[in-house]
Structure 1
């Protein structure tokens, strides 16, 4: 059954006029009349009754119209979804991310992304770096976002943004108007946010420059717990800036200037499989993230 016949039938039913439907569809009256006649012959029913100058639906016509309306609505919806999918404006995307990114970067980023692409469904899983890599490798996540670039066979990595690490303290007595040294911090409790990363090694080397052994009282892998314990123990910690921006802004924490300076930066990168072409939806997410990078660390 020709879609043109159905659309013509739908317009005649709505306008109750062959001539008005012809004008609306930019067709001749004879073409519209011919289409209605063809449809009636195919269905072997009479679709309209003539009532003066109006064409009114017959009982069979009303029944048939309900199906035509649904069919054309579904067709239009499908056409729109395919078009949006091709443009990367709809679809589903699974993303695996490290906890810091999930907690301190994604909430604001996803809010902005959803405002622009409300029809894209996201599934976000927060897990450690090695699990992010596993999920991307085995296809559970199309994209991964990891803290620190990692060499991994079969995966490609694309830098997103860099985050600076810094000494942070809840006790402003450490802010002496001049940079503090490792000697100044020798009796100050230090909380370690994990120990298996290059930034922690850099901290240890910084203390060792003055022959100081840091007073590490605890190692934690949960950032919010660490920040609470910083206040309880009046401890310092060496943390990524993105994790403490709010506390620094509201005065809860303060960045501790140190001497000599310590440069430690982590690269946050996207990870994806080499042997799999990214979906249009993933490309949309990826490109939005690239444009958004400048807003991550004001």
Structure 2
């Protein structure tokens, strides 16, 4: 039974006119007439009595009316439910910029392969901003540094070494076993991406009784890189962000592992695990493992 034919029947009943029903449906009058006749043939009854231009609901039509109404209402409810389900399949992810640029750029195509119906909204910001949005249910999950808050859950997702880098033509003489006092004399740009605990860096200098010469703070990776390219600045940056520059020799790493062995830890942060389907949770964790394996092979 064609739902369009039933819908035409209900419109004619409502407007008591095939002409008016056709206008309301944005169809031609012959089309509506053909749909009514097709429905009558299928039911093997006359649904209307025709008197010139007037149409009067027959007794059989009256009997069929509540069923036709129920059928159309059920279809409409089903469409509404499907629409709401599709809308709920949009996942809002809060993350720092580095994770968005590198991990999500790798992960999203893979997620779409396995879950083609899903849509993604990406919001970048600091850990505090993402946490606030998570707690106010503006986002579903966050990829941020560890947070200790009641009701907030953290699962380790990624680890990324942090390197102290400078331009290959920077005048700083690269000795072995550099001292913090020597580094404190150098101009530094701090890249504040919302995923580092810079207290570790500050403590590295405090142990020696000196303060880092931080001339610039920025939350933009390309700004940090541009300042390094002036050959005046050095910066602690995630390895993934400077991998190409290190491989090409444009940037060089300053070995400070004897002073500080720092990693950028990214956690999958959420309020309730049932926010997303279990299969998708597993997909996120599997993709993170694949991503780190790929980076290790490239290294």
TM-score bracket, shorter-length normalisation = 0.5 to 0.7
Q: Secondary structure at the match of 1:184?
A: helix
Deviation, 1:117, is: 2.9
In the superposition, the TM-score normalised over structure 1's length comes to: 0.63
Q: Secondary structure at the match of 1:204?
A: helix
Q: Secondary structure at the match of 1:199?
A: coil
Q: 1:292 to 1:250 in 2, by over 3 A?
A: farther
Deviation, 1:175, is: 6.9
Contact 2:180–2:204 (CA under 8 A) maintained in structure 1: yes
1:289 aligns with one of 284, 288, 297: 284
For residues 6-155 of structure 1, the aligned pairs below 5 Å read 42-44=43-45, 91-146=89-144, 148-155=145-152
Q: Aligned partners of 1:211, 1:231: CA distance in 2, in Å? A: 29
- Per-residue CA shift, 1:133-173, capped at 9, x if unaligned? 12222222111111x20012222222112222221111356
Q: 1:215 to 1:171 in 2, by over 3 A?
A: farther
Structure 2 equivalent of residue 199 of structure 1? 197
Q: Aligned partners of 1:139, 1:289: CA distance in 2, in Å? A: 20
In the superposition, the TM-score normalised over structure 2's length comes to: 0.63
Q: Which runs of 5+ in 2 are unaligned?
A: 3-39, 47-74
Contact 2:93–2:140 (CA under 8 A) maintained in structure 1: yes
Over aligned residue pairs, what C-alpha RMSD do you find? Answer: 3.6
Deviation, 1:128, is: 1.6
Deviation, 1:185, is: 2.5
Q: Which runs of 5+ in 1 are unaligned?
A: 3-38, 46-74
Deviation, 1:287, is: 1.6
2:158 aligns with one of 144, 156, 161: 161
- Per-residue CA shift, 1:64-88, capped at 9, x if unaligned? xxxxxxxxxxx9xx99x98xx8xx9
Aligned pair count?
A: 224
Q: Do structure 1's residue 278 and structure 2's residue 275 form an aligned pair? A: yes
Contact 1:172–1:254 (CA under 8 A) maintained in structure 2: no
Q: Aligned partners of 1:198, 1:121: CA distance in 2, in Å? A: 29
Contact 2:92–2:140 (CA under 8 A) maintained in structure 1: yes
